[in-house]
Structure 1
Amino acid sequence: MKQKLWTLMILLSLCVYSYAQQIIKPGVKTPTTFAIVVDSTSYENAKSALEAYKQSVEADGLGTYLLVHNWKSPEQIRELLIQLHSDRKSPLEGCVFVGDIPIPMLRDAQHLTSAFKMDQKHDWKESSVPSDRFYDDFELKFDFLKQDADIPLYFYYSLRADSKQYLSPDIYSARIKPLELEGVDKYQLLNKYLEKVVKEKQENANNVLDYLSMGRGHGYNSEDPIAWAGEQLAIREQLPQLFRPGSTVKFFDFDVRFPIKNSYLNEIQSEGLDVMLFHHHGASDTQYLNGYEEVSSIGGSIENVKRFLRSKIPSFAEKKGREAAITAYMENYNVPREWCEEAFDPEKIKEDSLYNLSLDIYTTDIHPLKPQARFVMFDACFNGSFYEKDNIAGAYIFSEGKTLVTQGGTVNTIQDKWPDEFLGLLGAGMRVGQLNRLVCYLENHLIGDPTFHFANNSGVDIDINRALVLEEGNMNYWKRQLKSSLPDLRALALKELCKGGYESLPELLEETYFTSDYFVVRLEAMRLLALNYPEKAIKVLQAALNDGYELVRRLACEYVEKNGHPDLIPAFIQAYLNRQHESRLNFKLLSGIGAFDANALLQELDKQVANRRFYDSLFVERIRKQIEQNEKNTQVDMKEMFDTKAKLSRVRLDIVIFRNHPSTVGIDPLLKFASDDTRDKILRLTAIETLGWFNENYRRGDIVSGLKQIKTDDKELKHEIDKTIHRLIVGRGIQNKSQCN
């Protein structure tokens, strides 16, 4: 009876929402459902293709709604998705937004991104995060701010203080927003793409993941070969089927051939390619692959210097004049005058333009291609900027070929993350939409069909898509998966137990880390423990700094910095002394020394150095000098922070530096500043917000206590205090889901 009443309520709600909009219900009954959300104009221009797409998804066992309307606001869509998801008989598992669907531009939520930290005083179009987490994470709460006057699809929202302060999407989502290219009918692009999806689902439904390629660009992860090798080893663990006879796996690096662009564009069109993983820097319309060629010859070195001069002098000349620019660069770099004068040579300008075009991939390179990879991942900034008229992720989707779905970020993204988390589950038939739901940041988006999946060739008999929806919260089910032969499924089980609030999770995570032979399982255990139980993570973090998997070591270094417990100092120093040859780990270690008391670091350094033999100890002196210099800089910054005569802009910088590096030494000064009602209110708000970035610190409880002691009648200050406290304590301990998704 309860189920019947619930179903009736859903139907009545749909009737109310169907006013002035069209709701086409699923044509089949399935355990879960999917929704295609489309604007009225796009529907009229691609009706047959959309209906064929709906039928193809249903043929794959997923009942599909088609929701058509001239959508006026994101709230209209979100409320409808929530209702469909609440259908207990057949809950909504995901959706796709087709055409011109409102774009939520989120503010005051930068802690939910991987790297975005722009001052929100800047233009709202630039300082907001375009994010569909508004639609797929139902527990997030927002205040509507305004609709953009120039771009009506943009709707600005502020994350509320009483909202959940972490991401755990209830459904997956994706965008199919056709490119807007000069002389091209965007609805024709939409039709062709949908027809491509339907054809692929019909003709290659049994296609397995047996061909994967991965390519890296310059500057990625400090170009560390050890990090690069570690990822290849992990791929072997996650997708062992790729390394068996009859399968193909390729690893490309930017410096194996110069320029690498042509090799990548050839590879992306290789017949049979299933997945392409790109690691590089990016812009909305560019995949950055190469810098200047690294050469050892004299002639090549001279030419690189000339190219550098030609790239810099013209802009300097616009400000100071041609002669002043030439003279300045001649003197600064001690180079001949004629090298500088080449910057104004029309032939050289043309030559350089063509040279620069050969280094990177642009959307204009992609449009005429026929990419074959069904799924392409862009581990790069801005490549997933679906809101731009032309963008990298969309260019692959709306080209001819077989690419059905891509993943990329709408804003900048951090390099030191786990880009391949749960990648192995794609081989088990998991929908790409679920992959993005499991590993999302505020900026992560899928472009294309999120229901796409490969046939299961993992050797594990499991309906992973059904389990992710219908077994959520089933502790017994996920405990059984801890013994799976598939490492990524074991790792997923840990995450699902975390989400479900498994009572003995900290103990399980520690035991798993110290007993598992699998890289990805140890990494998942360490991450969940460090991010959710920092007070109980010390023992694991000490060991993880010397783990056999490079990414475990690198992320452990980050968590050690954010944790800040003094007991971590010996392992921190030991990691530097043992592994200073690892360029990316070395970078993380040196950038994290501010987490600890300088005297304690120096004492530990002296203690460990005394028991070692060195042929060359210059690297020891390097960290010693950096510790001492960092301490001097910190003292200067602290003095400036409390100098009432200092420029407000400078004081702000002294405060926000702790967002990137939430050092324990900053806790007490930030609390002192936040509680001082004689200081500028905006700066106090900044200090309070910055304290929210200490959610992984072993002293987060002290921060909460300090914030609660601040007495104020100011609504904005109260709001920020409540929000920061919420970030620090909501879900702590057993119930902490802050990083379980």
Structure 2
Amino acid sequence: MKKSIVSAMLALTLLTPTFSQPLNVRFAIIADSKSMTAAGNEIKEYASVLKAEGLDAVIIEDRWKHADSIRSVLRKMYDSGHGLEGTVFIGEIPVPMLRDAQHLTSAFKMDQDRYPWNRSSVPSDRFYEDFDLEFTFLKPDTNGLYFYYTLNPSSPQVLTPDIYSGRIRIPDDSDGSKLQAYLWKVIEAHKNPDIVDELLFFAGHGYNSNSMTARIDEKVALLQQFPQLSRQDKGLEYIDYTFDEHIKNSILSLMTDEMVDIALLHHHGAYDAQYVGSEKAANGVQQNIESIKFYLRSKVRGANDTVEAKNRYMEWLGVPDSWFRGANEKGQTEIDSAWFADMDIIAQDVAEYDIKTRFIMFDACFNGSFHRDEFISGAYVFGEGRTVAAQANTVNSLQDKYPNEMVGLLSYGMRVGEWNRMVCFLESHIIGDPTFRFASSDPKLDADRMMKRAGNNGMLVKLTSYPHPDVQSWALWHLHSNGYPDISNLLTDKYFSSPYMNTRMTALKLLTQLKDDNFVRVTAAALNDSYELVRRFAAIYCQESGDPRLAPALIRLVTHPNVSKRVNYQAVDALACFDSTLLMRELDKRFEGTDTANYLGLIYNQTAANISKRAGYPRESIETITGADVTEKNKLFDIRSLRNLTYHTLIEPLCEYVLTAPGEKLEVALIEALGWFNYSYNRQHIIDTCNTIMADTERFPEPVRLEALRTLKRLE
């Protein structure tokens, strides 16, 4: 360890004219040589403005160009005990590409053996932030920027970042002028901090099944998180993709208003585009016809045999030949392409607007792919507008997550990097300045005072009663992190007593990590919570736990006449994770003495059919995985599907099968899949199986035993 630190120190130049002990600081600015040459004065001014806020910073010029060296220096600074809280990477700083860590993402699941390394690895600066994680260096990429690592089997298998970070990597900036302009924008934002007094949230096409209940409840929750927005003049703006066929213009136009401080954008995305719009629902016969014509032209256009394709659709849909007119004509193709492309936001669109919004959350896939030469979040942050920072994802991201978790802390002056540290996945990053913060809107409390209490459990317990949901959540989060002895009972009490939607959501989420009886009790109650997001997560936790004690509450939820769309989606999926006999018994109890001659009878029959249908899924899966005549390819396909389909009734037969030593490839895949059962009520059986495999050096080769160790670490 000492040797690696010395090597790293030799490879890094410290530019610290104002600090006698340059490593004894709270923030590290790490820049490549090109950035130092082009914007050295601006970087020093940035460090100066941070020092004025009480955040002493050191400037480090990276001349080693290796991720290990940078991590070693950051760890040395953190271990010095002087309170290092974060870092920012400016320029072409090495990008850690992490493998064997997909369980630390919200959604990313790609076959590492099948796909190229640059696609099947996760670009993540958690490598630099979480010093508990243990990695082994594999190789550099030929591009000189990517460095591939595997997460060691013996490493902790959960994220607990020690510091925060941000990325300032500006594409197409050969002379450094964009970096200079961006840093002056950052400096101005620090010298003249805004108060959060207006916020925009947007819901894109297909987000959370287009659930209106989810949209309504999000607004109520946001007004609790930002109570200063509840006033006579509008403080909370909402845009839905259905408001306009090409909704991007409304979004971008509203963000040119300097009053809109924060934008929370929920939608689908790619690295270079925000998928915000969709074809508007047709209104009347003629619009329906035009919509069908567009659909037909898109299907025939580019087909290998256009005549065959046209005839197939004419026969299937009973439409006339004239509805395909223009499908392969240049003029109509250009019109159709332009109309469809105008659904999305790309960098060129952003450049046409003077965006004033200071902070943007891109709750979307790939929008934060800072490792690429183009990424859409960078168009906002490093453009000519006022945007200083964004939270965005380097790979795909789950819809059913808690995107607004503790976001209200930003109105208390919490630095965006510190907020992201508490809520991040492997893929979620701060693009831009991670030290950016708003001025506190609460005269009684601010983030600086809160941070001084983070290690004092007595003060934290008091803050769990502070009249703000995210201050309460922050205190509960730190009490859990500090190992507060009575945390389970405190979380349970807060769940049942709190009027705040987000406090209840935080209590539920933290209880999942304890996996005790209170978790089961609260999850059952949460299936009937007044907040749609809490109900949805409770349904997800039913899938992931499978505890039979949750079956009665789950049946009550799926048979509720007014169950919301996205909650129902998750709850019905959860039926496959329970014993079907148990579910049918609870269903019959639920409808005992009920007149089923009306709509309630339809609900009963639909639920019974859903239970019966989903009871077949685990049976089919185990038959495929253990079948003697099934190909290895098909076995592996079903094994990998267990990452998303935690059939708890299969744990014992799967463990029994893997102990028969069916072959190294199947063993590794199956043990890895069992690692996704980390919330299962029967996870102890998996733990026992892993211990058996690890102890049997004769039957199981080292790769299998190492995977068993990794799964053991995930489940413990």
State the TM-score bracket (shorter-chain normalisation). Answer: over 0.9
Map Cα deviations across residues 183-215 of structure 1 (whole Å, 9 max, x no partner). x6362221111111112223x23x211111111
Contact persistence 1:674–1:685 (CA under 8 A): no
Contact persistence 1:342–1:348 (CA under 8 A): yes
Map Cα deviations across residues 283-311 of structure 1 (whole Å, 9 max, x no partner). 11111112211013111111111111222
Paired residue for 1:483, among 465, 474, 486?
A: 465
Map Cα deviations across residues 124-171 of structure 1 (whole Å, 9 max, x no partner). 11111000000001110011111112x220111110011111001000
Q: How far does residue 26 in structure 1 lie from its aligned partner after superposition?
A: 7.6
- Give the Cα separation in 2 of the matches to 1:242 and 1:487: 15
- The equivalent of 1:733 in structure 2 is none
Aligned pairs for 1:534-545 within 5 A: 534-545=516-527
- The equivalent of 1:698 in structure 2 is 681
Q: How far does residue 53 in structure 1 lie from its aligned partner after superposition?
A: 1.4
Contact persistence 1:179–1:186 (CA under 8 A): no
Change (3 A) 1:626 1:103: same
Q: How far does residue 114 in structure 1 lie from its aligned partner after superposition?
A: 0.3
Q: How far does residue 549 in structure 1 lie from its aligned partner after superposition?
A: 0.9
- What code does the residue aligned with 2:704 have? L
- The equivalent of 2:180 in structure 1 is 191
**% identity of equivalent residues:** 38
- What code does the residue aligned with 2:635 have? V
- The equivalent of 1:404 in structure 2 is 388
- Of residues 27-36 and 233-242 in structure 1, the stretch that sits farther from structure 2 once superposed is 27-36
Alignment of 1:684 with 2:667, yes or no, is yes
Contact persistence 2:389–2:436 (CA under 8 A): yes
- The equivalent of 1:24 in structure 2 is 15
- Give the Cα separation in 2 of the matches to 1:110 and 1:120: 10
Contact persistence 2:137–2:148 (CA under 8 A): yes
Contact persistence 2:5–2:69 (CA under 8 A): no
- Give the Cα separation in 2 of the matches to 1:351 and 1:626: 44
Contact persistence 1:146–1:155 (CA under 8 A): yes
Alignment of 1:650 with 2:644, yes or no, is no
- Give the Cα separation in 2 of the matches to 1:554 and 1:454: 31
**Structure 2 SS opposite 1:255:** helix
- The equivalent of 1:261 in structure 2 is 248
Contact persistence 1:173–1:433 (CA under 8 A): yes
Change (3 A) 1:143 1:660: same
Change (3 A) 1:668 1:143: same
**Structure 2 SS opposite 1:592:** helix
Paired residue for 1:376, among 338, 360, 366?
A: 360
Q: How far does residue 653 in structure 1 lie from its aligned partner after superposition?
A: 2.0
- The equivalent of 1:307 in structure 2 is 294
Q: How far does residue 226 in structure 1 lie from its aligned partner after superposition?
A: 0.5
**Structure 1 SS opposite 2:668:** helix
**Structure 2 SS opposite 1:659:** coil
Map Cα deviations across residues 201-251 of structure 1 (whole Å, 9 max, x no partner). 23x23x211111111111000010101111111111111011134662211
Q: How far does residue 580 in structure 1 lie from its aligned partner after superposition?
A: 4.8
- Give the Cα separation in 2 of the matches to 1:336 and 1:159: 58
- Give the Cα separation in 2 of the matches to 1:539 and 1:191: 55
Q: How far does residue 435 in structure 1 lie from its aligned partner after superposition?
A: 0.8
Contact persistence 1:218–1:289 (CA under 8 A): yes
- Give the Cα separation in 1 of the matches to 2:545 and 2:276: 35
Paired residue for 1:223, among 195, 210, 220?
A: 210
Higher RCO, Cα 8 Å, sep 6+: 1
Change (3 A) 1:16 1:372: same
Change (3 A) 1:362 1:692: same
- The equivalent of 2:141 in structure 1 is 148
- Give the Cα separation in 2 of the matches to 1:581 and 1:568: 17
Change (3 A) 1:531 1:651: same
- The equivalent of 1:70 in structure 2 is 63
For structure 1, the residue ranges without an aligned partner over 5 or more in a row are: 1-8, 730-741
Paired residue for 2:102, among 102, 110, 124?
A: 110
Contact persistence 1:368–1:399 (CA under 8 A): no
- Give the Cα separation in 2 of the matches to 1:259 and 1:435: 33
Aligned pairs for 1:618-637 within 5 A: 618-637=602-621
Contact persistence 1:473–1:499 (CA under 8 A): no
- Give the Cα separation in 2 of the matches to 1:382 and 1:342: 34
Change (3 A) 1:572 1:20: closer
- The equivalent of 1:134 in structure 2 is 127
**Structure 1 SS opposite 2:301:** helix
Aligned pairs for 1:315-330 within 5 A: 315=302, 317-318=303-304, 321-330=305-314
- Give the Cα separation in 2 of the matches to 1:412 and 1:28: 41
- What code does the residue aligned with 2:72 have? E
- What code does the residue aligned with 2:528 have? N
- What code does the residue aligned with 2:261 have? D
Change (3 A) 1:13 1:675: closer
- Give the Cα separation in 2 of the matches to 1:128 and 1:208: 39
Aligned pairs for 1:324-723 within 5 A: 324-462=308-446, 464-465=447-448, 467-468=450-451, 470-578=452-560, 580-613=562-595, 615-616=598-599, 617-677=601-661, 679-710=662-693, 711-713=696-698, 714-723=701-710
Contact persistence 2:8–2:72 (CA under 8 A): no
Q: How far does residue 467 in structure 1 lie from its aligned partner after superposition?
A: 4.1
Change (3 A) 1:599 1:342: farther
Change (3 A) 1:17 1:467: farther
Alignment of 1:159 with 2:151, yes or no, is yes
- Give the Cα separation in 2 of the matches to 1:579 and 1:21: 64
Contact persistence 1:217–1:253 (CA under 8 A): yes
- Give the Cα separation in 2 of the matches to 1:199 and 1:707: 55
- Give the Cα separation in 1 of the matches to 2:364 and 2:456: 35
- The equivalent of 2:237 in structure 1 is 250
For structure 2, the residue ranges without an aligned partner over 5 or more in a row are: none
- Give the Cα separation in 1 of the matches to 2:404 and 2:337: 35
- What code does the residue aligned with 2:10 have? Y
**Structure 2 SS opposite 1:721:** helix
Alignment of 1:124 with 2:117, yes or no, is yes
Change (3 A) 1:581 1:404: same
Aligned-pair RMSD on alpha carbons?
Answer: 2.1
- What code does the residue aligned with 2:105 have? T
- Give the Cα separation in 1 of the matches to 2:67 and 2:8: 14
- Give the Cα separation in 2 of the matches to 1:14 and 1:645: 54
Contact persistence 1:381–1:410 (CA under 8 A): yes
Contact persistence 1:179–1:398 (CA under 8 A): no
- Of residues 535-544 and 273-282 in structure 1, the stretch that sits farther from structure 2 once superposed is 535-544
- Of residues 110-119 and 698-707 in structure 1, the stretch that sits farther from structure 2 once superposed is 698-707
Contact persistence 1:107–1:156 (CA under 8 A): yes
Structure-2-length-normalised TM-score? 0.95
- The equivalent of 1:200 in structure 2 is 189
- What code does the residue aligned with 2:657 have? F
Contact persistence 1:382–1:412 (CA under 8 A): yes
- Of residues 553-562 and 707-716 in structure 1, the stretch that sits farther from structure 2 once superposed is 707-716
Q: How far does residue 17 in structure 1 lie from its aligned partner after superposition?
A: 4.6
- Give the Cα separation in 2 of the matches to 1:62 and 1:245: 37
Change (3 A) 1:269 1:514: same
Change (3 A) 1:450 1:314: same
Alignment of 1:233 with 2:233, yes or no, is no
- Give the Cα separation in 1 of the matches to 2:523 and 2:175: 51
**Structure 1 SS opposite 2:588:** helix
Change (3 A) 1:60 1:14: farther
**Structure 1 SS opposite 2:529:** coil
Paired residue for 2:78, among 56, 73, 85?
A: 85
Q: How far does residue 14 in structure 1 lie from its aligned partner after superposition?
A: 8.5
**Structure 2 SS opposite 1:19:** helix
Paired residue for 2:168, among 176, 190, 200?
A: 176
